[in-house]
């Protein structure tokens, strides 16, 4: 995992060398804080997915009763 992340960071820094004149959010990423955003969006999405599954299950129950 560590090698993967370091490789990824190396890749990003190489990318940064190519992109001197175009400003991307590389700074944000190298400081690691973009992961917080990814985590939050993922948690929200997983929650919504579980919510959809629970609606599905309740609906199935009602369908069986009818």
How far apart are CB 46 and another protein at their closest, in Å?
A: 7
Dist. CA 24–CA 39, nearest whole Å: 20
Position 1 contacts another protein (CB under 8 A): no
Position 42 contacts another protein (CB under 8 A): yes
Position 18 contacts another protein (CB under 8 A): yes
Task: Report DSSP letters for 17-49, one per residue.
Answer: HH-SSS--THHHHHTTTHHHHHHHHHHHHHHHH
Dist. CA 58–CA 54, nearest whole Å: 6
Position 55 contacts another protein (CB under 8 A): yes
Dist. CA 38–CA 24, nearest whole Å: 17
How far apart are CB 3 and another protein at their closest, in Å?
A: 17
Contacts to another protein by CB under 8 A = 11-12, 15, 18-19, 21-25, 29, 34-35, 37-38, 41-42, 45-46, 49, 52-53, 55-56, 59, 62-63, 66
């Amino acid at each position: 995992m560590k090698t993967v992340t370091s490789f990824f960071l190396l890749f990003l820094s190489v990318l940064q060398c190519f992109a001197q004149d175009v400003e991307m959010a590389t700074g944000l990423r190298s400081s690691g804080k973009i992961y917080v955003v990814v985590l939050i969006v993922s948690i929200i999405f997983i929650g919504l997915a579980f919510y959809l599954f629970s609606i599905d299950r309740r609906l199935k129950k009602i369908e069986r009763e009818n």
